[in-house]
């Protein structure tokens, strides 16, 4: 006789597998549905995760326009640039950044390596930075995607040495005898040990250690020896002629770093409310493993507690999660290539444009009257072609003095046949229920009476499509 524990049963319910897909990725794709519905396929989890551990291909939006030139030649060219050249270069970067945004969104929607892209999205929020240089951004994105599930010390080192971060946190003005503390402060407060685990003195001394770190225009890290303060520094009670690399090593030696990261990961992937016992144990393991991110994530997603009721269907999808999730569940194409960007701007979550170095807000902070109304209307706009105009907030860092324009062009061509195919094994009488189970992770759902009132029941296809658009307009669909 085989004894099946109740927990194991929980782990292989359809909702549980979808829970994994929503948290370890951007939701279940329509094409995943037949497999998910065969609830017994417990190895869905293994399959879902394993693709993410392969090395990712670069997302390439731009080529270096100065390829083949020496640094001296590049800086002369930039210095001599006239108004037209400058405009052209600005345009090159702006278009490049938009393209990179599109490429990454596409990757989030269609990549099999869901966990890697989700994790990279997490790291983008963690190592939040903005820059107007498309080459720097492209390189930064590659770093966070490549190291997303690797060892945190490598990720930290690579991000800290990326041109995007160096410029964002004023590395070029951090020089011997006139240090700029911006990077030293943020690396401690936001990237590693967290508030309360360092002193102002540690920041001052660390800033000295980072002097000389710089980047070239095309985005290579350079160490300017002449600007580096070689003197002795005292950090976390230890003295030495520390370099920037030494400081990053000192930071990951602190157990506080493991705790800080684990807590943030738990809040993002599991529950905003911390379970102290679990987080402590995860954090200890994470530290002992030399900060193996992939291993930590595997532990989380194979645990029993991850699939407990209180961890399912209680997370408010951020705008990116909502958009990518809809696109995965309901395959669609856009006539307007800027559609995803328009949506991001309206909702206030534009990739590569976090509000500040602390990243985006989360949870209920995404919801107010207007954002909720817009979220609830979105599926109808996508499906029915009733585009309406909403003007996003001004972003003068990008507009260059121009007025902000209304966002348009969110109407999509939905690939209904692909969607219907996902339900091919479902009997007609169960079709409505199957849509609800696929779309909603919450315990509660709109009442059957209400669902029937708004669903077209004249054919299987119209039931599936009308029920889908209806449920995507429900408050429950905002959660995963």
Partner 1 sequence: MLIKRRSFIKASGLASASLLMPRFLHAFDADEKLPPGNKVLVVLQLNGGNDGLNTVIPYRNDIYYKSRPGIGISKEKAIHLTDDAGLHPSLSFLGQLFAEGELSILNNVGYPEPDRSHFRSMDIWQSASGAKEYLETGWLGRFLDEQCKDCEHSTQAIEIDDMLSLALKGKTKNGFAFKDPRKMYQAGRSPLLQDFLNAHDLEHAEHTVSYLYKTLADTKRSTAYIYEHSQQLTTGLYPNHELGRNLKTIASLILSDINTQVYYVSIGSFDTHVGQDAQQSRLFKQINEALEAFVTDLKKNHRFEDVLIMSFSEFGRRVAQNASRGTDHGSANNMFFISGGLKQKGLLNELDDLTSLKLGDLQYKVDFRRVYATVLENWLKVKAEPILGNAFEPLRFV
Half-sphere exposure of 130 (CA within 13 A, CB side): 15
The one among 59, 74, 278, 376 contacting partner 1 by CB under 8 A: 376
260 touches 266 (CB < 8 A)? no
What would the x/- binding string for partner 1 be over residues 86 to 125, using CB under 8 A?
----------------------------------------
Q: Is 449 near partner 1 (CB under 8 A)?
A: yes
211 touches 175 (CB < 8 A)? yes
| Buried-exposed string 404-436: b where 16+ CB fall within 10 A, e elsewhere | eeebeebbbebebeebbebbeebeeeebbebbb
Comparing CB distances to partner 1, the nearer of 128 and 209 is 128
The one among 89, 371, 387, 415 contacting partner 1 by CB under 8 A: 371
CB of 15 to partner 1, least distance (A): 15
Compute CA 254 distance to the chain's CA centroid, rounded to the nearest angstrom: 26
Comparing CB distances to partner 1, the nearer of 6 and 393 is 393
Q: Is 6 near partner 1 (CB under 8 A)?
A: no
Comparing CB distances to partner 1, the nearer of 139 and 473 is 473
- What are the tokens at 413? 């061509």
Q: Is 200 near partner 1 (CB under 8 A)?
A: no
Comparing CB distances to partner 1, the nearer of 48 and 268 is 268
The one among 377, 415, 431, 461 contacting partner 1 by CB under 8 A: 377
Instruction: State which of positions 350-369 bind partner 1 (CB under 8 A).
Output: 353, 355-358, 361, 363-365, 367-369
Q: Is 424 near partner 1 (CB under 8 A)?
A: no
Instruction: State which of positions 121-180 bind partner 1 (CB under 8 A).
Output: 130
CA distance 16 to 459: 30
Instruction: State which of positions 57-76 bind partner 1 (CB under 8 A).
Output: none
Q: Is 315 near partner 1 (CB under 8 A)?
A: yes
Residues that bind partner 1 (CB under 8 A): 83, 130, 185, 313-316, 346-348, 353, 355-358, 361, 363-365, 367-374, 376-377, 390-397, 399-404, 442-444, 446-447, 449-450, 453-454, 470, 473-476, 478-479
């Amino acid at each position: 006789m085989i004894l099946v524990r109740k927990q194991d049963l929980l782990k292989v319910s359809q909702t549980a597998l979808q829970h994994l897909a929503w948290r370890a990725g951007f939701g279940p794709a329509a094409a995943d549905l037949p497999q998910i519905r065969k609830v017994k396929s417990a190895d869905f989890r293994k399959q879902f995760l394993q693709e993410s551990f392969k090395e990712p291909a670069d997302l390439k939006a731009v080529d270096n326009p100065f390829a083949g030139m020496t640094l001296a030649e590049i800086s002369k060219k930039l210095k001599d640039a006239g108004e037209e050249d400058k405009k052209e270069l600005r345009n090159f970067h702006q278009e490049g950044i938009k393209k990179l945004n599109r490429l990454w969104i596409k990757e989030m929607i269609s990549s099999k390596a869901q966990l890697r892209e989700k994790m990279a999205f997490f790291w983008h929020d963690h190592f939040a930075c903005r820059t107007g240089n498309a080459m720097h951004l492209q390189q930064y994105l590659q770093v966070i995607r490549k190291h997303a599930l690797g060892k945190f010390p490598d990720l930290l080192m690579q991000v800290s040495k990326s041109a995007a971060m160096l410029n964002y946190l004023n590395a070029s003005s951090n020089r011997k005898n006139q240090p700029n503390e911006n990077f030293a402060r943020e690396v401690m407060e936001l990237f590693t040990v967290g508030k309360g685990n360092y002193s102002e003195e540690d920041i001052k001394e660390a800033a000295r250690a980072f002097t000389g770190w710089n980047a070239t225009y095309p985005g290579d890290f350079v160490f300017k020896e002449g600007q580096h303060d070689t003197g002795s520094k005292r950090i976390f009670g230890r003295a030495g002629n520390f370099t920037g690399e030494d400081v990053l090593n000192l930071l990951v030696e602190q157990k506080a770093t493991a705790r800080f990261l684990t807590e943030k990961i738990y809040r993002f992937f599991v529950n905003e409310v911390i379970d102290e016992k679990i987080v402590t144990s995860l954090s200890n393991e994470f530290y002992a493993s030399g900060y193996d991110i992939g291993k930590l994530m595997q532990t989380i997603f194979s645990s029993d507690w991850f699939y407990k009721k209180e961890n399912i269907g209680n997370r408010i999808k951020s705008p990116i999660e909502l958009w990518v999730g809809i696109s995965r569940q309901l395959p669609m194409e856009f006539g307007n290539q800027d559609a995803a960007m328009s949506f991001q701007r309206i909702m206030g979550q534009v990739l590569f444009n976090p509000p500040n170095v602390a990243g985006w807000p989360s949870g209920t902070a995404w919801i107010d009257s207007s954002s909720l109304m817009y979220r609830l209307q979105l599926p109808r706009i996508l499906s029915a072609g009733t585009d309406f105009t909403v003007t996003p907030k001004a972003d003068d860092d990008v507009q260059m003095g121009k007025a902000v324009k209304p966002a348009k062009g969110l109407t999509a061509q939905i690939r209904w046949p692909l969607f219907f195919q996902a339900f091919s094994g479902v009997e007609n009488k169960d079709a409505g229920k199957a849509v609800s189970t696929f779309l909603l992770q919450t315990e509660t759902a709109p009442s059957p009476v209400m669902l029937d009132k708004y669903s077209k029941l004249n054919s299987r296809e119209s039931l599936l499509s009308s029920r889908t658009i209806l449920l995507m307009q429900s408050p429950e669909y905002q959660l995963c």
